[in-house]
Structure 1
């Protein structure tokens, strides 16, 4: 009897577990319902009883006005902090917009989708994206280019950049004016940190600008490429881009951008191990920066130039560069820079057993250190070691 009773209890318990598991599975497998996917829209704002025709112009105008009022209500509700209720109102608006002009619906989808992205409402973003995707498919089938452009821009607003890029690429296939499309694609790739793809797109734009002798556009694309190659840490490509920029600026007698451009070129040459080219670039950067009173660039160029010569044990040339650097730093009233340069001059004299010159340099450094209240003991020790 006890065994039979225990068996019944076990069977009953097993049945309860199975029922619960079945209920959970059923709930988990419930199909996703997008509130924007409806076969027939029923709403008090639509004619009643339902009509089997398109809305008349007057009915469309009235509905448009009512939908604008719905949007205002949703916006006010959202600003009051009732985000869920605001989206309920917006969903009603978006469903009803399917009865009107599709371009107006796409505009509204982008507007609400942007809010969904900002509020990190992934389910709402998915719903709106799915509706936009359906519109995109129909527009592609009908080659509705203006609508596709609007869909792509809506994807951008919602940060669905992969779909925006795909639509722009579709529009590129037979576009008579590919430039703005390529610019959008390049910008989107850049926003996704896909620097190689962005650079490849800007290279296409650059080729177009060159073919059209459009110098302004050429400079713009070269600047973008310069930035991209720097972010991608690609000095080889960066050198080519900067050399072309420098050539154009020189042809235009535009001196202003050249100091920083030559300094950047010097850094790239140095990274690539092209030390002679780096030296020439730093000299160009220094001369042009000095003439334009851009003392920070002039100072940095001389500092890097001195490091190159010191690396090659060309100490006398290095000393000459540091002496010139002192003049730049004095003009810029860069007391910290002066202190460090005197220190380097002292080290080189000390390395060449010229103790008196080293002592003089370290004393100058100490005087500056005292004015800055910085590293006084460090320079005093160096002086004591020479006395």
Structure 2
């Protein structure tokens, strides 16, 4: 960290020195490559709109430029590639804003991937200019707005993308197009989520949930509840996550989707534990174990038992932790989880050590060593534990 800080300050100091010593040079002023107005031989030298035939000819030429730029990039000529793409983008304006926006998004995605920051900024600026022009029009061009939304996503400009989709959403609501409203809300929610804006993502999914419930769309209700549970968990809003998961549990029970319940009970138990409601946490972990065992999902049953053991240990309930550990050994054996068995023997040994029961601890560590030798993993750890216990016994 110190080295990084030193390099950072050195970079700052060097930059300041260059700025102080350098003199403004009008000849080196940045020229936006998309605003160059030099006549291009691919465009007819006329103020008249392009005829359909001229448009087709220009489009074919621009598609060829795109291929040339891609070929240059493939050979390592990054500068030449983006020079060619910028020429294509300048000329795409002649084909209308939709053609231009789609091309801007395509090239912007490549520029982002190639870490061409200036190129991304130039393209983003042009997209924002088109967005402003579109917003000022008396009629809404939904096709162009959708294309703008995609393009802003391609250049990683989520705020602008969301602003565009909000316009689309307003139009869909005005037209009372329920399907378009839900599709647009889903896109907005996904954008918020992809940029870790959990509060906005949650608010949008809550609205989607309300719409799905209003039309009794069971599948969508489940999907949106699952998304909300994930979001609230990530945001560490355990009470909200718990409320959503309880609703999911009720739906699973009503639909007799019993195979989905063990994992959900585990998550509900974790929510209760985070909220300090340990009795409810215990109950849900136990239910998760019982349902997983009955479904012969032994790996999931083991996860529930490990949560129970951790809770018992946190409350100083060593006897209960030991008893549950024995059940865990059997469960891991059924799941063929030999690594889990090895870890459990280590845990049992530590529990017996905490009570000064050295003979039982030694037996557990020896069984753990046998598994460690089979797995060729953590053999030294168990050998050291056995040696330390033997020292205690010999005192």
Q: Distance in 2 between matches of 1:368 and 1:88?
A: 65
Structure 1 counterpart of 2:157: 160
Structure 2 counterpart of 1:274: 277
| Alignment length (residue pairs) | 357
TM superposition shift of 1:189: 1.6
Does residue 333 of structure 2 align to residue 336 of structure 1? no
Structure 2 counterpart of 1:13: none
Show the 5 A alignment for 1:255-294. 255-294=258-297
For residues 253-304 of structure 1, the C-alpha deviation after alignment (integer angstroms, 9 at most, x for no partner) is 1122221211121112111110111011101110111123322321231232
Retained in 1: the 8 A contact 2:349–2:362? yes
Q: Distance in 2 between matches of 1:310 and 1:71?
A: 64
Retained in 2: the 8 A contact 1:195–1:232? yes
Selected match of 1:137 from 132, 139, 143 = 132
Structure 2 counterpart of 1:367: 367
Secondary structure, counterpart of 1:73 in structure 2:
helix
Structure 2 counterpart of 1:199: 202
Structure 2 counterpart of 1:301: 304
* CA spacing shift, 1:44–1:250, aligned 2, 3 Å: same
Selected match of 1:90 from 81, 85, 108 = 85
CA RMSD of aligned residues (A): 2.7
Q: Distance in 2 between matches of 1:384 and 1:370?
A: 20
TM superposition shift of 1:371: 4.3
Selected match of 1:186 from 177, 180, 189 = 189
Selected match of 1:378 from 373, 381, 385 = 385
Secondary structure, counterpart of 2:94 in structure 1:
coil
Structure 2 counterpart of 1:78: 73
Show the 5 A alignment for 1:224-243. 224-243=227-246
For residues 50-70 of structure 1, the C-alpha deviation after alignment (integer angstroms, 9 at most, x for no partner) is 323111111111111111112
* CA spacing shift, 1:45–1:342, aligned 2, 3 Å: closer
Secondary structure, counterpart of 1:24 in structure 2:
coil
Retained in 2: the 8 A contact 1:329–1:338? no
Secondary structure, counterpart of 1:54 in structure 2:
coil
Retained in 2: the 8 A contact 1:363–1:383? no
TM superposition shift of 1:384: 6.8
Q: Structure 1 regions of 5+ residues with no counterpart?
A: 1-20
Structure 2 counterpart of 1:173: 170
Does residue 109 of structure 2 align to residue 114 of structure 1? yes
Does residue 51 of structure 2 align to residue 45 of structure 1? no
Q: TM-score if structure 2 supplies the norm length?
A: 0.81
Q: TM-score if structure 1 supplies the norm length?
A: 0.83
Q: Distance in 2 between matches of 1:81 and 1:233?
A: 46
Retained in 2: the 8 A contact 1:266–1:279? yes
Retained in 2: the 8 A contact 1:330–1:338? no
For residues 326-348 of structure 1, the C-alpha deviation after alignment (integer angstroms, 9 at most, x for no partner) is 32133234330441354266458
Structure 2 counterpart of 1:103: 98
Secondary structure, counterpart of 2:95 in structure 1:
coil
Secondary structure, counterpart of 1:78 in structure 2:
helix
Q: Distance in 1 between matches of 2:348 and 2:129?
A: 71
